[in-house]
Amino acid sequence: MSRCRISKKYIDEALSIILQGKGASKVPSDKALNLLRYASEGKLSSIPGFRSLIEVLEFMDPEKARDIMSKCNLRREV
């Protein structure tokens, strides 16, 4: 299992857009619930937790999601 952790800066950047940006109604509930689970467990900085954040961001601001993913050297899971 990966021990990698994502920098707080990127989590905060994604979280800010998710909490304040437009398009929240486009997010499917399964993706939103997945994000809530990681957020409430304080695990957004884990790789799967951060992916859940990015998966939600992709529905709200896909360009920003790609930008943050590349800054973190993460690839989209297919």
Partner 1 sequence: MKFGVEFVPREPFWRAVLYTVEAERLGFDYVWVTDHYNNRNVFTTLTATAIHTKSIKLGIGVTNPYIRHPAATASATASLAEIAPDRVALGIGAGDRATLEGIGIGIVKPLSAIKESVYIIRELLAGKPVSFDGSIFKVKSASLNFKCRSYIPIYIGAQGPQMLSLAGEIGDGVLINASHPEDFKYAVEYVRKGVEKSSRDIKSIDIAAYTAFSVAEDEAKAIAASKQVVAFIVAGSPEAVLERHGINLESASRIRELIVSGRFDEAFNSVTMDMIDAFSVSGSPSSVAKRVEECLKAGVTQFVVGSPIGPQPYEAMKIIGSKIIPTFKAG
Least Cβ distance, residue 39 to partner 1 (angstroms): 5
CB 46 within 8 A of CB 38: yes
Residue 23: both structure tokens together = 């398009």
Of the pair 23, 66, the CB lying nearest partner 1 is at: 23
Q: How far is CA 37 from CA 28, 30, 32, 45, in A?
A: 15, 11, 9, 13
Q: Which listed residue (1, 2, 20, 75) binds partner 1 by CB under 8 A?
A: 20
Residues lying near partner 1 in the complex (CB under 8 A): 15-16, 18-20, 24-25, 27, 29, 32-33, 35-37, 39-40, 42
